[in-house]
Each structure stands twice: as C-alpha cells, then as structure tokens.
Amino acid sequence: MSTSRRKFLKWLTAAGAASALPSVAEGHGHFTGYSDSYGVLHDTTLCVGCRSCEKACNEVNDLPAPDRPFDDPTVLSDVRRTDEKAYTVVNRYDVNGPSGSPVFRKLQCNHCKEPACASACFVGAFTKTPEGAVVYDASVCVGCRYCLMACPFDIPAYEYNKALEPRVMKCTMCHPRVAEGKLPGCVEACPMEALTFGKRDDLITIARERIRKYPDRYIDHVYGETEVGGTNWLYITGAPFETLGFRTDLGVTPAPELTSGALAMVPVVIGVWPALLGGIYIMSQRKEKIANQEKAAAVKDAINTTQAKADAALKAATEKAKNEKDKAVEKAVKKALDDAAKQTGGGEA
Amino acid sequence: MADEPMVVERPLLSKFNVIAGLIILVGLWLTFKRFTGGLGAVSNLDHSNPWGIWIGFDLLCGVALAAGGYTTAAAVEIFNMKKFHAAVRPAILTGFLGYSMVVFALLYDVGRPWRLPYPFAVNQGVTSVMFEVGACVALYLTVLFLEFSPVALEWLGAKKIRAVVVRLTILLTILGVVLSTLHQSSLGAMYLLVPSKLHPLWYSPYLPVFFFVSSIAAGLSMVIFEGSLSHRFFKDKMDDEHRKSANDIVLGFGKGCSMVLAAYFAIKVFGLALGNNWNLLGTGYGLWFMVEMLGFVLLPCLLYAIGVREKNVTLIKWTALWTVLGIVINRLNIVLICFNWQLPADQRYFPHWMEIGISVFVITVGIVVFRFIVTRMPIFFEHPDYKEAH
Amino acid sequence: MIHRFTLTAVLVLGTVILGGTLLIGCSNTAAERMPRPDVVTIDAMTVFGDLERPVVQFPHDLHTAAVKEDGKDCTVCHLRLEDGSLSQKYGRLVDDDVQTVTDVYHVGCINCHTEKASLDMKSGPVACGECHVREAKYTSSRVQIHFDRSLHYRHVDASQEKCERCHHDWDSTQTARTYIKGKEASCRDCHKDASIGKRPSIRTAVHHQCVGCHLETPNSGPTVCAGCHDSERQKAITVVEDAPRLFRNQPDFVLLAAGEAERANSKMKTVPFSHLAHEGAVASCRTCHHEMLHSCDDCHTLPGKEEGGGVRLERAMHDMTADHSCVGCHERAKDALDCAGCHNLMQRGKLSEHACTICHTGPEPDRLTSVAERYTSLDQFRKPANDTRLSINRRDIPDTVIISLLSDTYEAVRMPHGRHIDSLMKRIGASKMATYFHGHDDVVCQGCHHHSPIGERPPMCESCHREPFNESDLMKPGLYGAYHRQCLGCHQSMQIEKPSACVDCHANKESRAE
Amino acid sequence: MSESIHTLQEFMLQTKGIIYLLAIGYLAGFVWFWRFLHGRDKKEDQIG
C-alpha cells in the first residue's frame, strides 16, 4: 500500500524532470528561428566599393595586415573569397559592361537561421546565438573542416599554415560588439550606409519598402529571406543575383533537414538489427541442430536392423547343429543293435 | 604438420623490406613536415577544397574496402555458412588493419588530432552525421580488435582469456554488423549536406543506401581479391583446410557479390529517376557517370555471374579487382572529381605529391603489419592446440 | 575466357579515357562574321511551309554594285509591274508555288554566277552549301532609319510641298490612290508590319515609295541599302536645325480638355498646351499622335473607347510608362544627365501632390464658350517660359558649407554650396521644359533639401538625419549615410568623375599616422 | 540559452542526444535480454 504510493510519487517526480526539458516553441517540427535576432541588409545599389568595411573588419577582429592595402583599387580587379586573413571581401562585377557602372557586392558569413556549419560540426563548435550571429568556439574544434564542406556559401576558411592550433576563421557579425550595444565593424564604417543593421524582421520590411518605392532600381527579391531556410544577412540588388556571384540554386531547405532523415534511421537500425540478426542466427543454428538429430536417428536404426539380422543367423545355425547331433546318435544306436543280432544267430547249427 | 610453416624464416634485407623501409623513412619525414608546418605545408587543400585524398581515398575507400570484416563474419557466424570459415580470420584481420589505417590517416588530415576524443568526451555535436560515423568507427574498431584478439591470444597461448572472448563471438559479430551498417551508410549521409556542391548525378537522398550496399560489394570483392594475393605470397603459411576451401569461398562470394552489384545498379538507376536527372546523362559528367555505372557496376556484376556459372575462379578474381577499382572510383567521384564541379578549373583540387606520399606511407605500414601478423599468428591455418575450436 | 575478360577490360578503360577527355569539354570557336547593313534574308519560301535548307543571307549592295559595273540596271533581277515600277520580288511578280519560286532563284543566281565565273570575273557561289549555310558569312548591321522632322522637311522642300508624292489614301471603290490635302497620316496608319491582303507591309511600301522615287529622280536620295541603313551613313545625313514646321493645319496652342461631347463631365481645369513648342521638341508627329494624327480626344474619351484601345483620356495623358503620354515622355526626360543628379535620388514613377496644378492652369472646360477659344494664345494662363529667377537673393545663399563630420579622421569638408546652385540653375536654364517646370520656383533647392517646404531657409541635413538605423523611421539614413548618398549619388548619376577617392572631398589630416 | 527551442538545429541537438543515450541503453539491455532468453536452453545450443 504505502510502498505503492511511494512508487507513484517517484513516477511523478520523474515526469516533472522530463517536463523540465526545453519545450518546443513551434509545433510540428517547424521552426521560425529567433524572432528578435539581428541581421544586416546589404543594398548593393548603394555600395561604392570603397572597402571601408574590409578595413574596419580587419581592425575590429585584429586580423593580420592584408597583402595589398585597403585603398589599393586594383584589388577589386579579381573576384576574391573570404580567407583566414579576411572575414569579409568586396567584389566588383561589371554587369553593365566594362564601360557601364560596376556593381559591388560584400561577401561574408550570412549567418544562416539554420547553419549548415553547426549542423555539420561533430563537436558543436558552432552556435546560432539568439542575437542572430553564428559563432565559433575554437577551444573544442578538432579541425575536421566538415564546416567548410557544408557551408553552401563557401564562407568559413581554415588556417592551413598553423601546425599546432589551426582555427576555422569566419565573420562573427561582431557578436561581442553587438553584445556591448555597438554596431558591427563593417556596418559602422560604411559611408553609404549600404549596410543596414537591425532586427531581421525590420530589415525585410525596409528591403520590401525600398523595392516598392524604387521598382525600376531593384530586382523584386530579398536574397536571404528564404535561401537555405533564411539567413540573417540579407541582400537587395539592381542586377540579377546570379550576375553578382550569388548562388540562386540553393533552394530553401535548411541544412539540418537534409540529414535529419538519415539520422532518424540510426536508432531504427540499432533497434531492429540485433533482433533480426539474432533471429537469423538462431534459425541457422536450429537448422543445423535438426540436421544433426536426423543424422543420429538414421545411424541408430541402421544399427538395429543389422543386429536383428545377426540374431536370426545365429538361431538358424544352432538349430542345424542340434539336428545333426540327434541324427548321429540314432545312427550309432542302430548300428549297435545290428551287431548284437548277428552274434546270436551263428551257434545252433 | 600444420605448424611447421612458422619456422620458415626470410632474409632481413629482402626486396620487400628494403622498399618498405625507404617508403617509411620518407613517410616519417613527411610526418615531421605535416606536424611542424601545418596542413598547408604538405597538401594542396584550400578553403574551397577542404577534403582531399586523405578523406577521399584513405578514409572513404579504406572503410569501404575494409567491409570484408563484417560481411564475412556475418556470413559465417550469423548465417552459419561454415564452408567460408577459413575466410573469417583473414577478413577480420584486414578489417581491423583497414580501420586502423583509416584512423592513422585521419591523424594527418585532422587539424588537431589529439582532440579526436573531444566529440565524445567534451562536447557532443549529435546533429552531425560525422558524430555518428566517429562513434561507430571508434566502437567498431574495438569490436574488430576483440574479434581479432583470439588470434593474438592463441599466438601468445593465453587459453583462459581466449575462451572468454570466443564465447562473445556471436554478440561481437552482431554488434559489428550493426555498427558497420550505420557508419558505412553514414559516410554517404555526410554528403547529404552538400547538394549545392556535389554534382546532381552523384547527389541523391539515397546516398546512405548507395554507400551501404556498395560497401558490401566492396567487402566481398576485397575478401576474394586479397585472398588470391595471400595465396600468391603466403601459400606456405596455409594449412590444407584453408587451401581446400579457397575455391569454395571464391565461388560463393562471387555469387553473393554479383547479386549485391545487381541490387546496387538497380537502386542507382532508381536514384537517377528520383532526382529526374536523365537530361544530365548527355553532358560530360553524364558520360563519366555512365562509365561508372556500366563499366564498374553492371560489367563486374555480369562477369561475376559468368564466372560463377562457368566455375571460372580466375575470372572471378580479376572481376573482384575490377569491382574494388569501381568502388574506389565511386568514392573518389563523390569526394573529389564531381565535388565542386561548378568551380572554375583553376580553383579545383589536385593532390600534392606529399599527400600521395603520406597515403602510400600509411598503406605500407598497414601491409607491413599485416605481413608481420600472418607470418606469425594463426590466420591462414588453425593453431594446433585449438583444432575444431571454432 | 580470360581473353574475353581482358578484351572487355580494355574496352571499358577506353571509355574511361574518352569520358575523361570529354569532361574537359571542347570549346566551340565561332568564326568571325562580317557585319553588313544590306543583308537580305531570302525567306520567300517560308510561305510554302518549312524549309529544307537554311535561309540564304544575301548581300544586296554587293550585287547592285556588280550589276552597275556591267552597265546594267535593276531590271536584271527585278521585273517591272504593270504601272512600270519595279517589283521588289526577285525575278518574278507573284509567288505561284514553291517549285517555280525555288527555280527562279536557283536558275537566276546560279546561271549568273557561272556565267561570270566563265568570263573569269569576280563571281558568287554556285553550290547549294555555299549559299544555304547555317552560319552565314554576313551578319546584318542594318539600323532602322527614322524619317524625322529634319528629313521630312527636306523632302517637303525638295518636292515643292507636293505632299501627295508620298502621302496618299486608298479609295477601295475606284481601286486607286487618292489624296486629300490636310488629311495626311503616317505611313504606318495603313501599312502595318505584315502585308494585309493587297495592302503591302510597311517595309515593302516604304522601299517601293522611297527607292522608287530616288531611282526616278536623279541625284536625289540613296538607292542602295547602306544609304539609309548603315549607321555611319546615317550620321552623314544633313540635319536641318530648327526646321520649319510641317504644316497640316495643326494649332499653335491648345487648351487641352475632354472632347466637346463630354466636356460637361470633365472637372479638371484645361491644360494650356503649346503645340508649337512641342513640335520642336519631339522627333515626329508620331511621338504623340500614334500613326493616324488625330486629336487626342477623338479616340481617348473620359471612359475610354475602342478606337483608343480603351485607354481613358486621363491615362492617355498621365500614364508614366506609356510612350505617347505627356507625363510618360516628361518622366523619361529626367534620365538626361543634367536632370538625373536630382531626379534619380527622388522617388520616380509617382506624381507629387501639387503636380496637377503645374499643368492644369487653364479655365474650367465648361467655361470654354467657343471652340475657337481653345486655340488662342496661352500666355494669359502660363508663366513666361524663360523666367529662371530665384525668389531667394543669391547673396543670402551661403557660398561654402563646412561639413565637420568625420573630422577625427579627415579635415572638414568645404562644400562649395553656391557653385552647386549656379551650375544646376545653368542646366535648368538650358532646357525649356526644365525652366517651365522648376525655373523660378526655387525647387532647385529641393534637389538636396528634400522632403521639406521650399523657402529661404531650408532645413539643414542634420535637422532630420542623425543616428543611423533608428527604429522609429527605418527608411531614414543617418547623417553619415545621408551625406554620402546625396553627394555621391548625384555625382554618379550626372557622371561627374570626381570624387574618385575619399581625399577628393576630405583632405587627409597631416597629423594622422597611416 | 532560452528555455524554449527556436531552431531545428537546437531541436535536433536535444532529440538526437536523448536518442543516442536510449540506443546505448538498449544495446546493453539487449545483451542481458539475449542471455535471459537463452538461459534455459540445453547445453548444446547454449549461445554466447
């Protein structure tokens, strides 16, 4: 009675513990990300390619000095990507022909709402912060570079020339600065305010508003609103996105969704295989056992039959012997009587 | 007698020893470079091509080809195909060494190898397919070690412990199959994350299944292939039972592999239909895909079948080699050749000779250890004290 | 067996190598093709269905020249119609059936070419594959010629104002050309892109008309393709600056309003419109009048009617995207470099609240007592079109403005405020339209001092623009951004090369260590 | 760290973690269960 009650209470507490786990904000496995997260809107129609953002980024993150100075315009002549020395780069695209006005596009981590790098990292070195930044923790990084593989935007870079503690290098959206209430370095430095910092939702509103207000200046799409499940860095441009080096074939599937199916099969295999294989094993064993038993039986009655034959043969043999003996005796008696008769008949005459 | 081969001795400065020695010396030098100068000093890896032949060849191919271990063990221990019994120990050994080499190579590829336990000890990134691969490989390596340990124990003559381990055989085998199923497929699942970088003809939601099924084919072929090699080089180490059953094994595994390849071909075609990528077959990559599918899946499948029907052991052995080659090509396609296919040619990856050097070094070490073991321990023959013990 | 195997192996390996090479991919190098203005695509056969071979690209002038060399004329190739004029078809008058037409070409061309070749003169191809090629030797560099006011005037002048020499109507009853003075329309009014029944296409019609006339009239206009259709030769055509009006009894001035019938329903004030001034500003009548040269309200009524394609009068005048509407045309005028500086930064495609009153300054339509009244001078309704005086005294306008923002990094900017205004006013003065629309209204200030009332003391930038990204007004840039966007934006749209670097505006601080 | 889950990533991190623990538990349990199942079998088909 009392014991059962105590059990019951135990159960309750257990249930309580379970409910203490974080609960799911959105239902049916659909997630809309952190509602108040920050982001940056890059309006390429305003960018003049002055590379102040690159300079500021370099200073704020005290990265090594660039190979060519930031005010060297020739740098823009080739299309670059981010590397271990530059979290962000500005590229020039002569979409209006060599004579026409070029378009500049800033490249850096887009801070996905569902980061591929985080989904890929097997030490959980990447975290999507509620503030919107995707941050990296070098203190646990093993250096497998799966994050570099996974990133659909080819952003993370690796310190290939460090022997002892190579790190993955990528934009942090100046997470520490934002935490202090400062602006990201690049945003603060942009003279044209081509970079707008703010709540992601507001940024989308701004972008839409600009497109609505200047329909002939913008392409009616906000890059990053839906791409790979949405990014906190957004872009609006006047030239088709693919001409500015944007991947327009990335789709809207968030990275974790790509692998969730496969990962879901893991427990199934763990659950079913042992039982299945064990079963097969038992069956095969059983087959063998039965086979053995049958063999044994066969041998047994083979032995019996031969035994019977042997007995019969013996019996017959003894019979025969007996008969012959009797005959011999009879014969002997008869002979004796005859001899006796012969002797009495010869004395009278 | 069965144990007389053990007394056969080889000259220390044999051709093999000299070459192996040289390779290992170079390897050690490269190792020094790698761990003083960083990955950049010995490889052509860069930000856009973070994975090279160490992952593409040593890891992916290594794991696939080491699948002989669990396939053979499953065949004999679980499906109770006693006639393949002689193949188990060599297969387990190759499996064990194969996985050891994979981990060995990983020590070079990974930025901070001493942190390899972190994913399990420090911070568990369970959302990563790689976490699962890592866990399974680690566990499976242990399993293989245990499965292999009786051999060493027999050699050392530790009867008691051996007995304990042998009693666990079936459990270990089952566990081995579970783990292999998981990580073989998950190696494919790792590439589910890169639809934008892997050519659509090779990218498919079926990738895990492709990898798992092809790994079985690879495993079986490997057993046949290295079986035939062993027969060339270690004949003197083999007892009669081993020699006698050799052809049974080749024919049996050949038949099995043929069926697996047929299934593999089928699901690859289904995958093509699933992605509706028929139109891509016309392109250059499409042709390459056809070469892989027809030349290295369908062809060996048929050759195996012919070989089995005609009891043509030689053909099967050659086909085994061909199949192994095919799997290697498939893995290389996914990691290197058809990865980053959209990048301009000058941004594509080609291995640095030092990378290849380290790969060769790793393989050589593997072979040397294999040779050391088979020349001393009861792999190709039954230890006299344990006749009929398993 | 093993042989069978090795064989297949070799075979497969072969495919592998082939595949590898294909992966590299072969680059197709397109041959250099010579651009000509006179390339005629011979596609006469297409009316009979699909072609067996690629169409022929025919260099017409080349042949004209060759024919002239032989002292022959066009009739070598072109037959005469009953009216004596030349058919534009080659060697035939009508397209009977595919075989005959094909033969005409093949026989004609090949014979001539072989003949020439036999006289070992320069000749053309004779084999099928030489003419019928997928990648023709020539590409057409033909450019359309615009029969603009200048050209039109020169023709009027040359023909002693005999408009009927070109302009005509077609009287279907007598099946003959007719002509009614003062009812001329654009050729396109009747001649459309494709021929309709017996009515030739615009292309045939104008070639027949122009070339025919030029051939008959010695040392008149061009008779070869290049004469009209070569971009260089077009530039060479003499242009008569401010050519006299082409008179088709059009009015000098109009008070634009709805048609008589619905005048009562139209509430907007009429628009005093100088037809005279616009004639000088546009390329041709078609710019506004489409093809038929009717008055707007003939087709565009308040509710819109079929002749006007259902376009309401209001739209016809104000549609910003339309080519023929007033507002549309004026909107596009803002793209001119002189205007783009201010106007690109403003929201386009939208009329300001007080825009109506700029044009609708005439009397209410119902106060127009007589028709004649619509066509009197407009000066009583409009300000004179040459007044660019600002209401603000130039001396009250600061000459330089010091912008000391950023002065931690650079020296303060000394912005030549006065010079900016002067140069803008100069540009405005240079254009009648600009003068009329913002000449003396001081709106020039609004180019920079936007979203604020016109007046002597417009607000400074920092009175609105301060911290960036304030959440209360998401669309408003901070001061830093406002300056740069305004200055650079304007300089870029007006294609002023400076500033090319920060230091063009901000002098580097000497003290600052780099 | 907020108490509720906002991203699929977070969600998977939690659920997969739990599942791995359960799986390990299951494997261990399976061995015991296996022996329990075959405990009473006669010597010759004694397993494991």
Contact C480 A71 (CB under 8 A): no
Measure the CA–CA gap between C1 and C4, rounded to whole angstroms.
5
The pLDDT of residue A89 is above 90: yes
Searching chain D, which residue's CA lies closest to the CA of residue B124?
Answer: D17
* C133 and C156 assigned to the same domain: no
In the prediction, which pLDDT does B348 show?
92
Share of chain A above pLDDT 90, in %: 58
**Domain check: are C284 and C363 in the same one?**
yes
Contact A290/D at CB under 8 A: no
Phi, psi of A236 (to 5 degrees): -130, 140
Query: What pLDDT was estimated at residue B1?
Result: 37
- Find all residues with CB under 8 Å of C285, minimum gap 6, and list them: C186, C246, C248, C293
Residue C176 has pLDDT above 50, yes or no: yes
Beta-strand ranges (E) seen in B196-236 are none
User: Domain span at residue C281?
Assistant: 253-380
SS3 category, C57: strand
What is the structure's pLDDT at B3?
42
Q: Using 50, 70 and 90 to split pLDDT, how confident is the model at B85?
A: confident
pLDDT value at position C71? 86
Here the ipTM equals 0.77
B271 confidence band (pLDDT: 50, 70, 90): very high
Distance CA C181, CA A34 (A): 76
Does the pLDDT of residue C25 top 60, yes or no?
Answer: no
CB of A153 closer than 8 Å to CB of A223:
no
Indicate which of B199, B202, B291, B293 best probes the interface with C, i.e. most C CBs within 10 Å of its own CB.
B291
Residue D25, min C-alpha distance to chain B (Å)? 14
Which segment of A3-7, A148-152, A329-333, C176-180 scores lowest on mean pLDDT?
A3-7
A114 touches chain D (CB under 8 A): yes
> What's chain C's Rg over C-alpha atoms?
33
Give DSSP secondary structure letters for chain D.
--SEE-SHHHHHHHHHHHHHHHHHHHHHHHHHHHHHHHTTS-GGG---
Domain boundary residue among C235, C263, C295? C235
Question: How does pLDDT run across C75-110, given as a tens digit for each residue?
Answer: 888 988 888 888 888 988 888 888 888 889 998 899
- pLDDT class of A28 with cuts at 50, 70, 90: low
Q: What pLDDT band is residue A150 in, cutting at 50, 70 and 90?
A: very high
Residue C465 belongs to a domain:
yes
Read off the pLDDT of residues D5-42 as tens digits, 9 standing for 90 and up. Answer: 889 998 999 999 999 999 999 988 988 888 888 777 75
**How many Å lie between the alpha carbon of C103 and the closest alpha carbon of chain A?**
47
Q: How confident is the model at residue A135 (pLDDT cuts 50, 70, 90)?
A: very high
Mean per-residue pLDDT, A315-335: 84
For range C274-289, the mean pLDDT? 88
Is B303 an 8 Å CB contact of chain C?
A: yes
The count of CB pairs under 8 A between chains B and D is: 22
Residue C17, min C-alpha distance to chain B (Å): 9
Contact D7 A33 (CB under 8 A): yes
C171 and C230 belong to one structural domain: yes
In this structure, the answer to whether residues C115 and C181 fall within a common structural domain is no
Q: Which residue of A has its CA nearest to C480?
A: A191
| Cβ pair C19:B291 closer than 8 A | yes
* CA distances (Å), origin B110, targets A246, B39, B65: 30, 9, 21
Of A146, A215, A216, A133, the closest CA to residue A177 belongs to A133
Chains C and D touch, contact meaning at least 3 pairs of CB atoms under 8 angstroms apart: no
Domain edge (last residue) among C140, C167, C197:
C140
Residue C23 pLDDT level (bands cut at 50, 70, 90): very low
Task: Say whether C481 and A193 touch across the interface (CB within 8 A).
Answer: yes
- Residue C370 sits in the same domain as residue C259: yes
Q: Does residue B118 belong to the interface with chain A, where contact is any CB pair within 8 Å? A: yes
pLDDT band at residue C434 under the 50/70/90 scheme:
confident
Three-state SS annotation for B324-357: HHHHHHHHHHHHHHCECCCCCHHHCCCCCHHHHH
**Contact assessment for residue A287 and residue B80, using Cβ atoms and an 8 Å cutoff:** yes
pLDDT of residue C329: 92
Q: What is the pLDDT of residue C412?
A: 86
Q: Where does the pLDDT of residue C5 fall: very low under 50, low under 70, confident under 90, or very high at 90 and above? A: low
**Do the Cβ atoms of D13 and B126 come within 8 Å?**
yes
Is C461 inside a domain boundary?
A: yes
Reported pTM = 0.79
| Spatial contact of C88 and C204, defined as CB atoms under 8 Å apart | yes
B181 interface with A at CB cutoff 8 Å = yes
| Residue of chain B nearest D17, judged by CA positions | B126
C9 found inside a domain = no
Q: Is residue C97 one of the residues assigned to a domain?
A: yes
Q: Cα dist. C122→B364, C112, C299, C471 in Å?
A: 76, 11, 58, 78
Pairing mode, strands A233-236 and A126-128: unpaired
Q: D6, A289: Cβ pair inside 8 Å?
A: no
Whether A257 contacts chain B with CB within 8 A: no
Helix (H) or strand (E) holding B247: helix B240-275
Tell if the CB–CB gap between B295 and C15 is shorter than 8 Å. Answer: yes
pLDDT of C1 = 45
Each residue of C316-355: pLDDT tens digit? Answer: 999 988 889 999 999 999 989 999 999 988 877 788 777 8
DSSP state letters, C67-111: HHHTT--GGGTSPBPTTSPBPSSSS-SS---HHHHHHHHHHHHHH
Residue with tokens 């000890």: B121
**Cβ–Cβ under 8 Å, residues B155 and A221:** no
The verdict on a CB contact (< 8 Å) between D9 and A115 is: yes
C273 and C327 assigned to the same domain: yes
Q: Is the pLDDT of residue C378 over 60?
A: yes
CA distance linking residue A121 with residue B122, whole number of Å: 13
Task: Report DSSP state, residue A66.
Answer: P
Q: Quick one: tokens of B385?
A: 């004290």
Q: What is the mean pLDDT of residues A203-230?
A: 92
Distance, in Å, from the CA atom of B335 to the CA atom of C6, rounded to the nearest integer, reads: 29
Could you say which of B134, B173, B189 has the minimum Cβ distance to residue A259? Answer: B189
Whole-number Å distance between alpha carbons of A186 and A177: 11
Residue C202, domain CATH = 3.90.10.10
In the predicted structure, residue B318 carries a pLDDT above the cut 50: yes
Interface of A with D in 3-22 (CB under 8 A): 21-22
Q: What are phi and psi of C56, to 5 degrees?
A: -95, 135
Q: Residue range B46-54: average pLDDT? A: 94
Answer whether residue C13 is part of any domain.
no
DSSP 3-state assignment of A232?
coil
- Distance, in Å, from the CA atom of C29 to the CA atom of B219, rounded to the nearest integer, reads 48
Nearest residue to B66 via CA among B143, B123, B127 = B143
Mutation target for A interface from B36, B44, B127, B335: give the one with most A CBs within 10 A.
B127
Residue with tokens 């399990």: B120
Q: Report B:159-178 residues touching A (Cβ under 8 A).
A: 170, 173-175, 177-178
Find, among D12, A124, A256, the residue nearest to B125 by Cα: A124
Interface check for A289 against chain D (CB to CB < 8 A): the answer is: yes
CA distance D3 to chain A (A): 5
Identify which of A148, A253, A255 has the shortest CB distance to residue B50: A148
Among candidate residues B317, C295, C186, D12, the one with its CA nearest the CA of residue A255: D12
C373 and C408 housed in the same domain: no
Please answer whether residues B335 and B60 qualify as being in contact, where contact means their C-beta atoms are separated by less than 8 angstroms: yes
User: Hey, of D16, D30, D34, D37, which one would you mutate to test binding to chain B, going by the most B CBs within 10 A of its CB?
Assistant: D16
Do strands C413-415 and C401-403 pair parallel, antiparallel, or not at all (unpaired)? antiparallel
Count Cβ atoms below 10 Å from residue A19 Cβ, excluding itself: 8
Question: Binning pLDDT at 50, 70 and 90, where does residue D1 land?
Answer: very low
Instruction: Give domain status of residue C7, yes or no.
Output: no
| Contact criterion met (CB < 8 Å) for B303 and C5 | yes
Q: What is the model's pLDDT at position C22?
A: 46
| Predicted local confidence at residue B28, as pLDDT | 94
C164 and C272 in a single domain? The answer is no
User: Does a structural domain hold residue C240?
Assistant: no
| Beta bridge mates, A233 | A40
Return the residue in B228, B287, B298 with the most chain C beta carbons within 10 A, the one to mutate for interface testing: B287
Q: How far apart are CA C276 and CA C251, in angstroms?
A: 8
Residue C335 touches chain A, beta carbons under 8 Å: no
Interface of C with A in 349-388 (CB under 8 A): 349
Angle, CA A208 vertex, CA A206 and CA A210 arms, to 5°: 70
Q: Is residue C389 part of a domain?
A: no
Of C235, C264, C287, which one is at a domain's C-terminal end? C235
In angstroms, the CA C301 to CA C3 distance is: 90
The confidence score (pLDDT) of residue A29 equals 61
Taking a contact as any Cβ pair under 8 Å apart, which residues of chain A between 59 and 88 contact chain B?
81-84
Taking CB atoms and an 8 Å limit, are C20 and B288 in contact across chains? yes
| Cα torsion B250, B252, B253, B259: sign | positive
Q: Are residues C287 and C398 in the same domain?
A: no
B79 touches chain A (CB under 8 A): yes
Provide the residue type at A273 as one letter.
W
Residues C367 and C430 in one domain: no
Percent of chain B whose predicted confidence (pLDDT) is above 90: 65
CB-based contact, B308 to chain A, within 8 Å: no
Contacts of B170 in chain D (CB under 8 A): 47-48
Chain-centre distance for alpha carbon B303: 22
- When comparing pLDDT for A203 and C510, which is higher? A203
- Give me the half-sphere count of Cα atoms (radius 13 Å) on the Cβ side of residue C234: 14
For the segment C166-186, the average pLDDT, to the nearest whole number, is: 82
What proportion of chain B, given as a percentage, has pLDDT over 70? 96
What mean pLDDT, rounded, does chain C reach? 83
pLDDT at C457: 81
* Domain count of the fold of chain C: 4
Task: Give the D-side interface with B, CB within 8 Å.
Answer: 9, 12-13, 16-17, 20, 27, 31, 34, 47-48
* pLDDT at res. B21: 92
The verdict on C289 and C357 lying in the same domain is yes
Structural domains for chain B: 16-382 (1.20.1630.10)
Whether C449 and C466 map to the same domain: the answer is: yes
Cβ-defined contact of D9 to A128 (cutoff 8 Å): yes
Whether B320 has its CB under 8 Å from any CB of chain C: the answer is: no
Which are the contacts of C491, defined by CB distance < 8 A and separation ≥ 6? C341, C498, C499
- Helices and strands in chain C: count of H runs, count of E runs: 19, 10
> Which among C347, C480, C488 is the nearest to A213, CB-wise?
C347
Four-residue CA torsion sign, A57, A58, A63, A68: positive
Within an 8 Å CB–CB cutoff, is residue B167 touching chain D? yes
Interface check for B302 against chain C (CB to CB < 8 A): the answer is: no
pLDDT band at A311 (very low <50, low <70, confident <90, very high): confident
